[in-house]
Amino acid sequence: MAQNLLQGKKGIIFGALDEKSIAWKTAKRCVEQGAQIVLTNAPIALRMGEIKKLAEECNAPVIPADITNMDDLNNLFTQSMEHFGGKIDFVLHSVGMSINMRKGRPYTDLDYDFTHKTMDISAISLHRVLQTAYKLDALNEHASVVALTYIAAQRVFPDYSEMADAKAMLESVARSFGYHYGIKNKVRINTISQSPVRTTAGSGVKGFDDFINFAEEMSPLGNASADQCADYTVTLFSDLTRMVTMQNLYHDGGFSSTGVTMAVLDKK
């Protein structure tokens, strides 16, 4: 696929942990399409080491940043602009974590200190990233920011727990900041609502295996893969989608518009 849709563009990719990560696949696809990138993740995730392989493959520096730390974010954007010798054209926010889920706390028995942390990492972090870029004037005109979300923001998936609330906020931040950054620099901000994928974050959801199979059967096209998500994200980073902003875009094989499928009914 040598369309060079991102030729000359420079971007920051948050959230590549291992080969399964949506951000990992997206990083590779962006580079295949001609982009230069900077990779970033929390210092603790970087210590696990796998990202070095991706960095070599993508010829990209890795700049550590805890997405909840403003000094880290300032440093990330400043160093990235130094590295690129100019401003940034795209940002992928592919970050999420539920502390209550990790600690086995159900939605009806949340620990609110954990919830605050979950909201900060998974939702407020998008605001932190955008505010940092806005204040540093780090994004070029028509730059594109994409954050990954899930349909539990709109409909109840009981085991998705507090992450549903975090995703609802994430989508709201994309809309609200999309207004301000659109006016200021024609920067567009969208969320992609992705099918379930077997990744470290995804598999943390209770009953994930049953759930991913159900989603497959409930989607006329089947579940969208992480590779396909990377393709879709590339279109949003490209100049072909310059007027798309403040949207929550479903990338889910039709799941979000389907009431029931024969595949599900036939199982009864």
Residues belonging to the active site: 150, 160
Instruction: Give the count of beta carbons closer than 10 Å to the beta carbon of residue 257.
Output: 9
Q: Does 213 bind ligand NAI (CB under 6 A)?
A: no
Q: Does 97 bind ligand NAI (CB under 6 A)?
A: yes
Mapped onto helix, strand or coil, the DSSP state of residue 129 is helix
Q: Does 67 bind ligand NAI (CB under 6 A)?
A: yes
Task: Name which of 149 and 190 has its Cβ closer to ligand NAI.
Answer: 149
- Cα dihedral value 251, 255, 257, 263, nearest 10: 150
* CA dist., res. 149 & res. 166, Å (int): 9
Residue range at the interface with ligand NAI (CB under 6 A); choices 28-36, 138-146, 172-180, 196-204: 196-204
Q: Torsion-angle region of residue 110: left (phi > 0), alpha (psi -120 to 50) or beta? A: beta
* CA dist., res. 126 & res. 175, Å (int): 11
Query: x/- binding map, residues 98-137, to ligand NAI, per CB under 6 A?
Result: -----------------------x----------------
Residues contacting ligand NAI: total by CB under 6 A? 26
Q: CA geometry: angle at 58 spanning 60 and 34, to 5°?
A: 100
Is 80 assigned to a binding site?
no
Task: Name which of 33 and 195 has its Cβ closer to ligand NAI.
Answer: 195
Is 167 assigned to a binding site?
yes
Summarize as ranges the residues that interact with ligand NAI (CB under 6 A): 15, 17, 21-23, 41-42, 45, 66-68, 94-97, 121, 148-150, 194, 196-197, 199-202
